[in-house]
Chain A
């Protein structure tokens, strides 16, 4: 027993459990990516390597109209989501951080609630809102973007506030002492210092939008508003080709590349330890 949980040793069974867990969590996805390169129509039998499902003349990510449309729509929503949630979130974070007096706690709770609300509740609520309160807006691209912003906003606020806390108020106060008016303190001192947080939250909002499924599905209207996630849901159990794996792989590469790039930029601006905190906050 003593070997089992020795706080100073490195028990073998813990190494084994961790290694098995990591293999179990990554291998299935790695195999799904492998099958995106299958030279045949099967998603379960390996028939040799090929990139036909990415670039082939028929049924590939590059040439199939449905796949093309879903990828474009996914990226369009992601850009809309970043464009709206980052300015809204950064200003909300600034306002909340300096909020004096009543109401701050309530607004803070309101801001955090979307992070813990099950997505189906938000999906149903927004669906009924767009059907019954804003019938003129209706369902479709605008509704989908609004829905995604509603839950990505909180992530932007949390990341920005983390950075605001670590900057402190000294720079602003120094600018004020040197006679900078409030507007300049904000635009020429605080915002540049916030740049790493803005980049990080833009990347997170982008990735969250691409990976989102429930809210996007609830607020979709017709086939033209189908995203990659919705396509995966609709076709996973059917008998499609490895093109489905290929388009999932493309979306995955875009997501991970965006996050990786943002992480590198963030680390150039800020120390490694703080970057690690930011990664943890991305939860």
Chain B
């Protein structure tokens, strides 16, 4: 009972914080609320029963990505976006298409999602997922028939992707 209530509270917190992160005019505040949205999301993952992903979420998203965004904001010219003369809503030509696009995406995904949910039905399982299951699916080549080592190739490619991105970042950001 209480864990469900906690879950809903965390969910509402995530929703509000991510909306603030997207629509706040001051970028630093947006990034800070993004950090707290990440932390609450890791709480949700914990309640959904995957400790490993919660911890990875904490380390990578909130510990590295969000801090890097804050770092970038500190380095970019500090200027509040469009210091309007106390106008609450200053219309610009790209606003209407943006919101229309959002509505279209929302309704499309809502329809597709509900069709899928209706088809598979809502039966929540009670599997206890451990680190061993992750390791089995990622690396265990001896157990290929039984869901083992399916993601070895993807994992290797991901390593190459990270290497490429690091090299790209260094080359792009380097001053001549």
Chain A bound to chain B: no
Q: List chain A positions with a Cβ less than 8 A from chain B.
A: none
Residue positions of B touching A, CB distance < 8 A: none
